[in-house]
């Protein structure tokens, strides 16, 4: 054994024929999620002082990458806000939708950072847009000079309650969804539900699907809120047009984020494979790909949840009355219960196999227990899945269903 080894915390020489070292270090992660209605209202200080780790002062410069659709709708207010506070912004609109969530988009962001000549110690990049935009910018920032801080301002409901509050970034590669990506939290995310005023209703429903997911596995209270106010806050695009709608929208968003962060914080790098936030995400990736472009992500997730709700009733984990309440809420949120893709031969078996591959050889399938609780199982069989699909078909299509509809929904699309 060689003498004179450097011993620091976590660095030690292994005993053996040849020298060897093991390095251990713990990297602290800290990020902020700050909510404020009307972020671009000139007298709102949230963007200036709301995040202790990213203050903004007169004379500062910022690079803003914005979804080009959002720029057309909110860009003037955004520019006016920063101008009023003496912040010199360079705004780069980006075409951001699922089909262009590719490496080219990352290069476009890197080009913008190069042209801006970013000072990575003091000038976090701002990402303003839906989940596609924030995932792309987050990915580019995490690669740029091995990590450049960034700040997110999500503008879709999925962004507010899901894509904007976790630590994952990424782009698609060939047919692989989010095949390239990193774990890289934004320094801060600023949530503003007033930005949803311009979002198509179908995308509001898309976000409500992820909120319903949190309710079904974690919170009967959140479920009751969706039951009592979901349809109304959806129609109101979470704008809080009355005091009651404002309280409901705030409570639904805040509770959903709180539950999501409670699940994420102890498992930020996803080392534990039993993740209840994967509920609704077992069969949905396969459904989404096979039904393209018919189903949005949240719509596929909700069909997965309807199917596993049926499975839960077959197993005696939910009563039929509870399942009917779940289906009624799904309908009231304008979301689909069924797609004929569920009955394609072999599809559910393939989806289950794929899941087992991604979850280290076991199903680790979160299933609902009543409303608001869950358990993990490893013994779901293809025959059971087919039975659940048959049960759901009956519930979803009912007696008066049209002949073989591709998609059955309350009101998909607007
Ligand atoms: N990183 C994560 O943890 C995470 C979590 C969930 C989803 N995601 C990713 O998020 C993406 C989906 O995000 P999304 O649902 O926000 O879709 P999106 O970003 O494609 O936005 C949906 C559409 O709405 C438009 N838009 C955005 N904000 C608007 C506004 N305020 N008014 C009008 N139009 C607006 C966009 O231009 C786009 O056409 C997927 O790629 C998914 O992989 C990531
Ligand atoms: Zn999802």
pLDDT-derived band at 407 (thresholds 50, 70, 90) equals: very low
> The pTM is what?
0.92
**In angstroms, what is the span from residue 100 Cα to ligand 1's centroid?**
12
255 C-alpha vs ligand 2 centroid, how far in Å? 17
- Nearest protein Cα to ligand 1, atom 21: 130
Q: Report the Cα 244 to chain-centroid distance in Å.
A: 26
**Could you tell me the pLDDT band of residue 403, with boundaries at 50, 70 and 90?**
very low
Best substitution site from 130, 193, 194, 281 to test ligand 1's pocket, by max atoms within 8 Å of Cβ?
130
Tens digits of per-residue pLDDT, 132-149? 999 999 999 999 999 999
- Rounded to the nearest integer, the mean pLDDT of the chain is 92
User: Residue 353: exposed, middle, or buried by beta-carbon count in 10 A (0-12, 13-18, 19+)?
Assistant: middle
Q: Ligand nearest 209 Cα, by number? A: 2
- The answer on pLDDT for 243 being more than 90 is yes
Confidence of residue 11 (pLDDT cuts 50, 70, 90): low
Residues 6+ apart with CB under 8 A from 115: none
Query: Which residue has a Cα nearest atom 12 of ligand 1?
Result: 131
Q: Measuring from atom 14 of ligand 1, which residue has the nearest CA?
A: 131
- Ligand 1 interacting residues, C-beta cut-off 6 A: 67, 69-70, 73, 96-98, 101, 129-133, 135, 155-156, 158-159, 162-163, 166, 168, 178, 195-196, 198-199, 203, 206, 297
pLDDT band at 293 (very low <50, low <70, confident <90, very high): confident
Is-catalytic flag, 168? Answer: yes
Q: What ligand is nearest to the CA atom of residue 166? A: 1
Position 3 confidence tier, pLDDT thresholds 50, 70, 90: very low
The pLDDT tens digits of the residues spanning 344-360 come to 999 999 999 988 988 88
- Return the pLDDT at 360: 87
CB atoms under 10 Å from CB of 294, counted, come to 16
Q: Is the pLDDT of residue 10 over 80?
A: no
The ligand placed nearest to the CA atom of residue 177 is 1
CA distance 40 to 81: 5
Compute φ and ψ for 256, nearest 5 degrees. Answer: -65, -45
Distance 87 CA to ligand 2 centre (A): 35
| pLDDT value, residue 32 | 97
Q: Whose CA is nearest to atom 19 of ligand 1?
A: 130
**Distance from Cα 275 to the centre of ligand 2, integer Å:** 13
Residue 291: per-residue pLDDT: 86
Q: At what angle do helices 297-314 and 201-218 cross, to 10 degrees?
A: 30
How far is residue 384's CA from residue 67's CA, in Å, rounded to a whole number? 43
For the chain, the structural domain boundaries read 32-199, 202-409
Given a cut of 90, whether residue 363 has pLDDT beyond it is yes
Q: What are the distances in angstroms from CA 91 to CA 48, 71, 81, 98?
A: 18, 9, 13, 22
Q: Determine the pLDDT at residue 52.
A: 92
Out of 158, 191, 275, give the residue to mutate to test ligand 1, the one with the largest number of ligand atoms within 8 Å of its CB: 158
Q: Which listed ligand is nearest to 299 at the C-alpha? A: 2
Query: Which atom, in ligand 1's list, is nearest to the CA of 157?
Result: 16
Pocket test for ligand 1, best of 131, 155, 159, 208 (most atoms within 8 A of CB): 131
Predicted local distance difference test score (pLDDT) of residue 120:
84
What values do phi and psi take at 54, rounded to 5? Answer: -150, 65
* Ligand 1 centre distance from Cα of residue 380 (Å): 32
pLDDT reported for residue 390: 95
What is the third-level CATH fold of 202-409? Answer: Dehydroquinate synthase-like, alpha domain (1.20.1090)
3-class secondary structure for the chain? CCCCCCCECCEEECCCCCCCEEECCCCCCCCEEEECCCCCCCCCCHHHHCCCCCCCCCCCEEEEEEEHHHHHHHHHHHHHHHHHCCCEEEEEEECCCHHHCCHHHHHHHHHHHHHHCCCCCCCCEEEEECHHHHHHHHHHHHHHHHCCCEEEEECCHHHHHHHCCCCEEEEEECCEEEEEEEECCCCEEEECHHHHHHCCHHHHHHHHHHHHHHHHHHCHHHHHHHHHHHHHHHHCCCCCCCHHHHHHHHHHHHHHHHHHHHHHHHHCCCCCCCCHHHCCCCCHHHHHHHHCCCCCHHHHHHHHHHHHHHHHHHCCCCCHHHHHHHHHHHHHCCCEEEEHHHHCCCHHHHHHHHHHHHCCCCCCEEEEECCCEEEEECCCCHHHHHHHHHHHHHHHHCCCCCCCCCEEECCCCC
Q: Give percent of the chain with pLDDT exceeding 90.
A: 82
pLDDT score, position 15: 59
| pLDDT reading at 409 higher than 60 | no
Q: Which residues pair with 90 in a beta bridge?
A: 63
Atom of ligand 1 nearest to the CA of 207: 15
Q: For ligand 1, atom 15, which residue shows the shortest CA distance?
A: 158
Arithmetic mean of pLDDT, 273-290: 91
Structure confidence at residue 412 (pLDDT)? 34
Instruction: Give the residues across from 153 on adjacent strands.
Output: 128
**CA separation for the pair 228, 348 (Å, rounded):** 33
The pLDDT of residue 25: 93
**Neighbouring C-beta atoms of residue 83, cutoff 10 Å:** 12
Mean pLDDT of 232-246: 98
What's the CATH number for 32-199? Answer: 3.40.50.1970
**Res 12: pLDDT:** 59
Give per-residue pLDDT as tens, 54-82. 999 999 999 999 999 999 999 999 999 99
**Residue ID of nearest Cα to ligand 1 atom 9:** 131
Closest ligand 1 atom number to CA of residue 195: 31
Over 70: is that where the pLDDT of 302 sits?
yes
Q: Are 163 and 134 in contact (CB under 8 A)?
A: yes
Can you tell me which atom of ligand 1 is nearest the CA of 196? 31
Rounded CA separation 325/214 (Å): 16
Mean pLDDT of 289-309: 93
pLDDT at position 87 over 70: yes
Of the listed ranges 122-126, 172-176, 313-317, 318-322, the one predicted with least confidence: 172-176
Q: Which atom of ligand 1 is nearest to the CA of 298?
A: 15
């Amino acid at each position: 054994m060689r003498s004179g080894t450097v011993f620091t915390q976590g660095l030690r020489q292994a005993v053996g024929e040849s020298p060897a070292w093991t390095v251990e270090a713990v990297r602290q992660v800290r990020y902020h999620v700050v909510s404020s209605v009307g972020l671009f209202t000139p007298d709102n200080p949230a963007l200036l002082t709301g995040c202790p780790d990213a203050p903004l002062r007169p004379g500062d410069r910022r690079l803003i990458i914005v979804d080009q659709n959002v720029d057309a709708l909110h860009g003037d207010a955004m520019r006016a806000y920063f101008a009023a506070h003496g912040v010199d912004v360079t705004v780069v609109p980006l075409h951001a939708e699922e089909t262009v969530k590719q490496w080219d988009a990352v290069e476009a962001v890197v080009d913008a950072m190069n042209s801006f000549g970013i000072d990575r110690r003091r000038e976090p990049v701002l990402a303003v847009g839906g989940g596609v935009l924030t995932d792309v910018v987050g990915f580019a920032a995490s690669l740029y000079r091995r990590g450049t801080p960034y700040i997110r301002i999500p503008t879709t409901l999925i962004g507010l309650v899901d894509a904007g509050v976790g630590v994952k970034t990424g782009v698609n590669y060939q047919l692989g969804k989010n095949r390239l990506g990193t774990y890289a939290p934004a320094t801060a995310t600023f949530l503003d539900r007033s930005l949803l005023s311009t979002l198509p209703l179908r995308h509001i429903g898309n976000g409500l699907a992820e909120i319903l997911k949190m309710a079904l596995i974690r919170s009967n209270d959140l479920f009751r809120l969706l039951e009592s106010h979901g349809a109304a806050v959806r129609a109101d695009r979470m704008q809080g047009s009355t005091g009651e709608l404002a309280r409901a929208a705030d409570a639904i968003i805040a509770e959903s984020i709180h539950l999501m962060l409670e699940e994420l914080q102890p498992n930020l790098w996803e080392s534990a494979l039993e993740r209840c936030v994967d509920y609704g995400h077992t069969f949905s990736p396969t459904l989404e790909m096979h039904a393209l472009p018919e189903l949005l992500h949240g719509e596929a997730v909700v069909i997965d949840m309807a199917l596993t709700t049926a499975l839960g009733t077959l197993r005696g984990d939910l009563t039929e009355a509870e399942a009917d309440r779940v289906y009624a809420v799904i309908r009231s949120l304008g979301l689909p219960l069924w797609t004929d893709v569920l009955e394609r031969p072999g599809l559910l078996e393939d989806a289950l196999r794929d899941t087992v591959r991604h979850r280290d050889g076991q199903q680790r399938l979160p299933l609902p227990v009543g409303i608001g609780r869950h358990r993990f199982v490893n013994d779901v069989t293809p025959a059971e899945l087919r039975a659940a699909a048959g049960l759901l078909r009956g519930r979803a299509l009912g007696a008066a269903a049209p002949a073989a509809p591709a998609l059955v929904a309350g009101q998909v699309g607007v």
